[in-house]
Amino acid sequence: MLSLLRMDCRRLTHGGEMRTAVLTELLVLLFVCFAMSLVASPQMLSAMAGQGAEITAGDYAQAEQFQQMTLLELVDDGQFATMLSAGVMALFGAAELTSGFAKNIFAVHARRGRYVAARCVSCGIAALAVVVLYVAGMLAFGRLFGLPVRLDAPQDVAQFVFLKWLVCWGFAMLGSFAALLFRREGVAQLVAVLLGVCLLQASLDGFWGVFHLPFNLMDFTLYRANSLVPIAFDLPRFVAVAVVSLAWVAVYALLSLLVLKKRDAA
Q: What is the pLDDT of residues 34-69, one digit of tens each?
A: 888 877 777 777 777 777 667 777 767 777 777 778
- Answer for the pair 169, 85: CB distance below 8 angstroms, yes or no: yes
What pLDDT shows up at residue 263?
Answer: 67
Strand partners, 150: 70
b/e sequence 16-54, b meaning 16+ C-beta within 10 Å: ebbeebbeebeeebeebbeebbeebbeeebeebeeeeee
Nearest to 134 by CA among 201, 77, 198: 77
Residues 83-87 have a mean pLDDT of: 89
Average pLDDT over the chain reads 82
**What value, to the nearest 5°, has the Cα angle with vertex 78 and ends 222 and 68?**
135
Residues 104-112 have a mean pLDDT of: 74
Range from 43-57, 163-177, 215-229 that averages highest in pLDDT: 163-177
Four-residue CA torsion sign, 220, 221, 227, 228? positive
Residues 223-242 have a mean pLDDT of: 91
Residues 5-24 have a mean pLDDT of: 80
Instruction: Give me the torsion for CA of 39, 44, 47, 49, rounded to 10°.
Output: 20
Range from 21-35, 121-135, 200-214 that averages highest in pLDDT: 121-135
Q: Does residue 179 register a pLDDT over 80?
A: yes
Nearest to 7 by CA among 118, 85, 108: 118
What pLDDT shows up at residue 215?
Answer: 65
- Answer for the pair 54, 139: CB distance below 8 angstroms, yes or no: no
- Residue 248 or 59, more confident: 248
Measured distance CA(7)–CA(134) in Å, rounded? 25
Measured distance CA(1)–CA(116) in Å, rounded? 9
pTM of the model: 0.86
What pLDDT shows up at residue 79?
Answer: 81
Strand partners, 70: 150
Nearest to 171 by CA among 115, 257, 87: 87
What pLDDT shows up at residue 63?
Answer: 74
Q: What is the pLDDT of residues 191-203, one digit of tens each?
A: 877 777 766 666 6
For the chain, give the number of residues.
266
SS3 155: helix
Confidence of residue 25 (pLDDT cuts 50, 70, 90): confident
